[in-house]
Amino acid sequence: MSEEIILKAESISKSFGGVKALQNVSFELKRGEVLSVIGENGAGKSTLMKIIAGALKNDKGEIYFEGEKLSLKSPLDAVKKGISIVYQEPNIFADMSVLENIFMGNEVVSRNKTIQWTKMYEEAATALELVGLSGDILHLTMSELSIGNQQLVLIARGIYKKCKVLILDEPTSILSHNESEKLFEIIADLKSRGVSIMYISHRIPEILRISDHIIILRDGCLTGAAVPKEATEESIITAMSGRSINMSVYEERKQGEKDILEVKNLSYDPLFQDISFGVRPGQILGMYGLVGAGRSEIARAIFGETNAQSGQVLFEGEDITHMGINQAIEKRIFYVPEDRGAQGLFDIHPVRDNMSVSFLDGLSNKFGIINKKKEKQLVQENIEKYSIKTPNQDISVNSLSGGGQQKGLICRWLLEKPKVLILDEPTRGIDVMTKAEIHKYVIELAKEGVAVIVISSDLPEVMELSDDIITLYKGRITARFDREHVTEEDILKNALNLKEE
């Protein structure tokens, strides 16, 4: 790695109203290195990245790029100079082709202003090759790709022009194990070509694995730097939060004798086939499989959002196969979806509405009138409990940090006592400290007799929380294990459907 500094930030500050998102942050990025930025939810990571990528303006401070003062008018301006970003909340155009997504707003035009499709095809195919995808997918719409491949297309978009600095804001939070591995290979390849990478993730083991340098943000201030050789997971967590925390939360507990929820031979072609399992009160059942294995689709069918074609769902012995969401909620079967953008949050509504369970009967009187004071108080308690960084309950939820939005969504459901709770990727994008808090809370619920199903692509999370673990591959259950008798290898083998040699 050369020691040449490609990008230098000096005393960057940025406020949003009264929120000081960044204060005097300085760092240097060398050519061909991976510099990771870590910090709790709301620490200012994405804000810093958006400033470097020209999507936000800093209030104070300077950025130097290749030795010259950098002044960016727009993200496109940054791309032209060689700085690209893949945002934390991916902005894809689902109904447009992969090709159009790669070139959005940056089409190749000839002098007489006609779009040069052939040239664009060639350039795009080359970019896709760099991320291990075939040019054949260029005519597909984005929605036809798995989330993992969509992410790779966004990375291809980032690097197709002479990219010198690539910013990846939590790229692995939506990727499965294998897709993450593929990404790490791509990163190594880019590095060897001299591309510098700024990398954000809440998964500390991967940070330690792929970074050359690490900087730590806390409440908008740079509080430390580390090199992976000398750091441990514990030392990083302490630097991030100013305290050490215990990530092991599992506790033995009493479980019901009989299944409260039984799924029998449930099928919905081509999404999943012949799914059978049961979960007991007080039991935590983990579901592990690659993105696209059918996990969320099964959850949605149980919750009544979709109707399976055949098979049965029984709740306390009663057939609820064809019930809708409202009846499921009435029976206290809750589903917290993975995609907070599309299904979970009401973007422009205030934080309070998003965090409140006022649509359930807990907060309304017998005439259905909501007790506003109680609602406000409960929401405030949760804001504090999950340390959600927000100036007040009235600002719109999309100005929270990525993890802040996720916390808001989760605790809305945890406020109310469920009987069956299905959590789909519950800690995606959540910092390790809060993740441990949410895990503890899930264990508490199970102790109170709630049957919990946790769908997660985060293998350590599945192994930490679950009493039993089901693995899925292409819409079918491939194995069920209990926590006493399972290894990481068993789970991966079955989720990837690798047969014994």
Ligand X SMILES: Nc1ncnc2c1ncn2[C@@H]1O[C@H](COP(=O)(O)OP(=O)(O)OP(=O)(O)O)[C@@H](O)[C@H]1O
Query: Which spans of this chain sit near Mg ion (rule: CB under 5 A)?
Result: 45-46, 88, 402
- Interface residue with ligand X among 88, 296, 427, 494 (CB under 6 A) is 88
Q: Where are the alpha helices (DSSP H) in 82-146?
A: 98-103, 117-130
Residue 475's binding partner out of Mg ion, ligand X, none, with CB under 5 to 8 Å set by partner kind? none
Is residue 344 a contact point for ligand X (CB under 6 A)?
A: no
Closest distance to ligand X from the beta carbon of 191 (Å): 23
CA distances in angstroms from 28 to 74, 108, 184, 214, 230, listed in the order given: 22, 33, 22, 11, 19
Give dist(CA 319, CA 30) in Å, integer.
Answer: 61
With contacts defined by CB under 6 A, name the span among 37-45, 223-231, 313-321, 355-363 that binds ligand X: 37-45
Site for ligand X in 351-370 (CB under 6 A): none
The enclosing H or E element of 372 equals: helix 372-385
Count the alpha carbons within 13 Å of 329 in the hemisphere toward its beta carbon: 13
CA distances in angstroms from 65 to 33, 44, 131, listed in the order given: 15, 21, 26
Closest distance to ligand X from the beta carbon of 190 (Å): 22
Is residue 157 a contact point for ligand X (CB under 6 A)?
A: no
Residue 399's binding partner out of ligand X, Mg ion, none, with CB under 5 to 8 Å set by partner kind? ligand X
- Interface residue with ligand X among 32, 44, 75, 344 (CB under 6 A) is 44
Closest distance to Mg ion from the beta carbon of 401 (Å): 5
Residue with tokens 């985060």: 458
Q: How many residues bind ligand X (CB under 6 A)?
A: 20
Beta strands at 318-319 and 310-315: parallel, antiparallel or unpaired = antiparallel
C-alpha Rg value of the chain to the nearest Å: 23
Residue number with CB closer to Mg ion (45 or 352) = 45
Is residue 345 a contact point for ligand X (CB under 6 A)?
A: no
Residue number with CB closer to Mg ion (6 or 48) = 48
Residue number with CB closer to Mg ion (88 or 149) = 88
Residue number with CB closer to ligand X (15 or 146) = 15
- Interface residue with ligand X among 19, 247, 314, 360 (CB under 6 A) is 19
Is residue 21 a contact point for ligand X (CB under 6 A)?
A: yes
Residue number with CB closer to ligand X (19 or 104) = 19
Is residue 393 a contact point for ligand X (CB under 6 A)?
A: no
Q: Do residues 31 and 4 touch, judged by C-beta distance below 8 A?
A: yes
- Interface residue with ligand X among 255, 387, 399, 497 (CB under 6 A) is 399
- Interface residue with ligand X among 2, 16, 74, 377 (CB under 6 A) is 16
Question: What three-state secondary structure class fits 273?
Answer: strand
- Interface residue with ligand X among 42, 289, 344, 408 (CB under 6 A) is 42
DSSP tag of 281: T
Is residue 349 a contact point for ligand X (CB under 6 A)?
A: no
Residue number with CB closer to ligand X (108 or 395) = 395
Tokens standing for residue 327? 């009846």
The enclosing H or E element of 405 equals: helix 402-414
Cis peptide before 426 (omega within 30 of 0): no
Closest distance to ligand X from the beta carbon of 414 (Å): 18
Closest distance to ligand X from the beta carbon of 47 (Å): 3
- Interface residue with ligand X among 29, 33, 35, 45 (CB under 6 A) is 45
Burial class (CB in 10 A: 0-12, 13-18, 19+), 455: buried
Q: Do residues 161 and 82 touch, judged by C-beta distance below 8 A?
A: yes
Give dist(CA 83, CA 75) in Å, integer.
Answer: 9
Tokens standing for residue 257? 């004798």
The type of residue at 159 is: I
* Residue ranges binding ligand X (CB under 6 A): 16, 19, 21, 39, 41-47, 88, 389, 399-404, 431
